[in-house]
Structure 1
Amino acid sequence: MPEHSPLDLAEGDPFGPHNLPYGVFTTADEPGRRRLGVRIGGYVLDAGAAAHALGSPYASLLAQPSLDALLAAGRTAWRDVRRALTAWVTVPAHRPEIEPLLHPLDAVTLHLPYTVADYVDFYASEHHATNVGRMFRPDGEPLTPNWKHLPIGYHGRAGTVVVSGTDVVRPSGQRKTPADAAPVFGPSVKLDIEAEVGFLVGTPSELGRPVPLGAFRDHVFGLTLLNDWSARDVQAWEYVPLGPFLGKSFQTSVSAWVTPLEALDAARTAPPARDFPLLPYLDDAAEEEPGGFDVRISVEINGEVVAEPPFSTMYWTAAQQLAHMTVNGASLRTGDLYGSGTVSGPEVGQRGSLLELTWNGRDAIELAGGKRTFLEDGDEVVLTAWAPGPDGTRVGLGEVRGRIVPAA
């Protein structure tokens, strides 16, 4: 190996040993062999090979083609494996074994690192929900009567969750404007983004047994950036009375990296003050750990930043969402993924969807390539994010990238 080690990272690298997100990769010489990897700086460590080289008791768990086995192993294994990985990349004595197992990030192909079991998406930002309410119910209350009493969500389609970098084929469907005498069918003309944070379940739960707020860490392995692409015109025509369906089920993009919850301990923050009393199963006032996460998201379209949504403003927390979606006895499965819902802050530049940024197409945004109200074919959207880490560091979250291609 060269004298300068890939483990000697630049100061402030957001993918240092304090982070260590998990992913799955293949190499050019073995494109059919998927391996579990951990990102360190600009490299990917072959976690299974490292565990074998160092005689780890978790070698078989890490020598897998996906995260599924580690997710199912539970919180004790998550903690122990993370401690081992941290030692492998920080203790100088391990370098002779570890350095040959590092692959440059730009020389590997990244894959969806887990099998998605079920997919649920929420509507947890008060700013986003208020903006949408003002758009579509200008003469009424912006928030629906139930909004501050429970986290509103919908069940999505697990089979169309894809890894970052996958093209987004413009969806077709029925749409009808108020001026149309009848619905028409064709490609969506209001294709949108939703900048979100996703939470990945590891440990399953028993059917009929709700998961309480305090058990959040026992079940949730980590988080990932998520873009819940939305065809607003299809959604508007179909969603009454049962909610989103084809307007959202065509594709959801997630990062190739999953950041373990332990890497985000320094980013925990209290959610906004609640002005409604909550039912006991959602009341987190007495919880030892604050329920929010201080994650700073950036939304780019064709290389230009159009919004910077702050996740710390979310009204409903991930723990409350988990408690609510199981309170009826619904069980969790390893690989369940749930999205936060669009992240939006109080300022115009903090809105996590084009629906809000352009006020449903009324106010176009200016880009170097021309004005936009909704996405056009050829547009590329990139979500990035970071969160505060220990001792003033930053924890980077893997990007979510998607390019719009014409309807099939």
Structure 2
Amino acid sequence: MTQTSITRSWVASANGHADFPLQNLPLGIFSLNGSAPRSGVAIGEHIFDLQAALDAGLFDGAARTAVEATCCGHLNAFFDLGRSARVALRERLLELFAEGCTLQSKIELQSAKLLPLAADCQMHLPAKVNDYTDFYVGIEHAQNVGKLFRPDNPLLPNYKYVPIGYHGRASTIRPSGTDVRRPKGQTLPAGQTEPTFGPCSRLDYELELGIWIGQGNEMGDSIAIVDAAEHIAGLCLLNDWSARDIQAWEYQPLGPFLSKSFITTISPWVVTAEALEPFRKAQPARPEGDPQPLPYLLDKRDQAAGALDIELEVLLTTAAMREQDLPAHRLALSNSLHMYWTVAQLVAHHSVNGCQLQAGDLFGSGTLSGPEAGQFGSLLEMTEGGKKVVELPSGEVRKFLEDGDEIILRARCRREGFASIGFGECRGTVVAAR
């Protein structure tokens, strides 16, 4: 079954839902009233409890095997089954929730399987993240930041040859809604020659996609670019919170450390590769004069359909705005088509030296800014490193984030003739340093 062969669901709230229509069916891990974490699927304003549905005998064959792999409090084993398991589960879910499904009455009578999404359900990380790598593939962001420090040479020579990345901290990845404690660290005040220690004063967000790895590879082996897409289980939203003043002091010569490792926030739902299939596009052509990727990074099919058309949005609300009942203020509207490298190229490059990827590993795309004002994925770009201010509807201004500020990331896929799908929200509120 495809996006176009089934259009409506008997779950009324799914029809036309902004994020979770029948055509999406993202997976996640939730708990209810303090219960043990269990797997579920978002549909409309509900979570479909996969364990309860399994117990009721609603799955058999490959779909049953897939669901059984989700019922251990995380999705790692499910990711490791690969694409065939995702497809089998998706096809069965489409059958169960399609308008006119013969099992509709059975599902409705056992209402414990369909839970209110926003009531007492707490969302958890969808997988145990063994390793986390943050890339830097948003070329507009790389150029915008580079211009702040190297106006005549914003991109370093390796950028257009190598998907740049660094190894992040998996232990501090948290689901949407987790508070962001303002970090402490060393900073070098302007005009000084020795650093001081204290709370970060230039706290920032970064608008990114998170990429969940499905089946991995053995150490010493590599994943060929022609096979790399098969190793991608799905995507989420990712906020790579950044302490810019700590980063400026520590990043040379080895890159970010304490300025990034204090927290990374992700949206809790995994939007599968299959749900994203209608929104694939050709990778945007490189500007004239840019080098062609080296052979291990170049595949005709990936160049023809390896990019994704995902609208990305950043919103801000402050404590004062919430007190005044003002809506969240949009800071940026960008798109994943600003990625200089495809997701498959990231997988191929990460493993080319024999590095072992494992099911449940997480990649960050890097900040996905656009080239114009209103498309920047960080305050560092918007304020030109703190030289300008962002004016808010409350009369407040911001150069960087203050305590009480909440950042909200959203994403949407749209295409003529297809139902639009979303990712849910990725939220985090800044709280004072301890």
- Provide the TM-score with structure 2 as the length reference: 0.89
Which residue of the partner structure matches residue 296 of structure 1? 311
Q: Which moved more, 1:176-185 or 1:389-398?
A: 389-398
- The alpha-carbon distance between structure 1 residues 121 and 288, as it changes in their structure 2 partners (threshold 3 A), is closer
Code of the aligned partner of 1:97: K
Which residue of the partner structure matches residue 397 of structure 2? 371
Give me the whole-angstrom Cα distance separating, in 1, the residues matched to 2:17 and 2:44: 10
Q: Secondary structure at the match of 1:350?
A: coil
Code of the aligned partner of 2:27: Y
Code of the aligned partner of 1:246: L
- Provide the TM-score with structure 1 as the length reference: 0.95
1:27 aligned to 23, 32, 39, which one?
32
Contact 2:334 2:370 in 1 (8 A): yes
Q: Secondary structure at the match of 1:154?
A: strand
The structural deviation recorded for 1:391 is 2.7
Contact 2:139 2:339 in 1 (8 A): yes
The structural deviation recorded for 1:34 is 1.2
- The alpha-carbon distance between structure 1 residues 141 and 404, as it changes in their structure 2 partners (threshold 3 A), is same
The structural deviation recorded for 1:319 is 0.8
Q: Which moved more, 1:230-239 or 1:203-212?
A: 203-212
Give me the whole-angstrom Cα distance separating, in 1, the residues matched to 2:229 and 2:12: 30
Code of the aligned partner of 2:91: R
Code of the aligned partner of 1:123: Y
- The alpha-carbon distance between structure 1 residues 8 and 379, as it changes in their structure 2 partners (threshold 3 A), is closer
Which residue of the partner structure matches residue 312 of structure 1? 337
2:142 aligned to 122, 125, 129, which one?
129
Which residue of the partner structure matches residue 22 of structure 2? 17
Code of the aligned partner of 1:56: D
Give me the whole-angstrom Cα distance separating, in 1, the residues matched to 2:336 and 2:349: 20
The equivalences for 1:207-246 within 5 A come to 207-246=219-258
**Structure 2 residue 285 is the aligned partner of structure 1 residue 277:** no
Contact 2:283 2:303 in 1 (8 A): no
Give me the whole-angstrom Cα distance separating, in 1, the residues matched to 2:18 and 2:178: 26
2:363 aligned to 338, 352, 361, which one?
338
The structural deviation recorded for 1:389 is 5.5
- The alpha-carbon distance between structure 1 residues 48 and 288, as it changes in their structure 2 partners (threshold 3 A), is farther
Which residue of the partner structure matches residue 153 of structure 1? 165
Query: What stretches of structure 1 of length at least 5 have no aligned partner?
Result: none
The structural deviation recorded for 1:84 is 1.1
Which residue of the partner structure matches residue 405 of structure 1? 431
Query: What stretches of structure 2 of length at least 5 have no aligned partner?
Result: 1-8, 318-327
The structural deviation recorded for 1:13 is 4.4
The structural deviation recorded for 1:60 is 2.4
The equivalences for 1:188-199 within 5 A come to 188-199=200-211
**Structure 2 residue 401 is the aligned partner of structure 1 residue 394:** no
Identity, % of aligned positions: 45
Q: Which moved more, 1:275-284 or 1:333-342?
A: 275-284
Contact 2:15 2:22 in 1 (8 A): no
Deviations 1:24-47 (A, max 9, x none): 11112xx13211000000100001
Give me the whole-angstrom Cα distance separating, in 1, the residues matched to 2:269 and 2:45: 13
Q: Secondary structure at the match of 1:18?
A: coil
Which residue of the partner structure matches residue 86 of structure 2? 78
The structural deviation recorded for 1:98 is 2.3
**Structure 2 residue 337 is the aligned partner of structure 1 residue 324:** no
Code of the aligned partner of 2:312: I
The structural deviation recorded for 1:390 is 7.7
Which residue of the partner structure matches residue 199 of structure 2? 187
Q: Secondary structure at the match of 1:159?
A: helix
**Structure 2 residue 106 is the aligned partner of structure 1 residue 97:** yes
The aligned length equals 402
Q: Secondary structure at the match of 2:102?
A: helix
**Structure 2 residue 51 is the aligned partner of structure 1 residue 39:** no
Give me the whole-angstrom Cα distance separating, in 1, the residues matched to 2:90 and 2:15: 22
Give me the whole-angstrom Cα distance separating, in 2, the residues matched to 1:121 and 1:321: 10
Q: Secondary structure at the match of 1:131?
A: helix
The structural deviation recorded for 1:263 is 0.4
Give me the whole-angstrom Cα distance separating, in 1, the residues matched to 2:24 and 2:337: 19
The structural deviation recorded for 1:287 is 3.7
The equivalences for 1:136-147 within 5 A come to 136-138=149-151, 140-147=152-159
Give me the whole-angstrom Cα distance separating, in 1, the residues matched to 2:352 and 2:373: 35
Deviations 1:360-392 (A, max 9, x none): 111100113400000000000000011125833
The structural deviation recorded for 1:11 is 3.2
Code of the aligned partner of 1:400: C
Give me the whole-angstrom Cα distance separating, in 1, the residues matched to 2:47 and 2:27: 9
- The alpha-carbon distance between structure 1 residues 106 and 196, as it changes in their structure 2 partners (threshold 3 A), is same
The structural deviation recorded for 1:247 is 0.5
Give me the whole-angstrom Cα distance separating, in 2, the residues matched to 1:354 and 1:288: 31
Over aligned residue pairs, what C-alpha RMSD do you find? Answer: 1.7
Code of the aligned partner of 2:126: P
Give me the whole-angstrom Cα distance separating, in 2, the residues matched to 1:60 and 1:390: 36
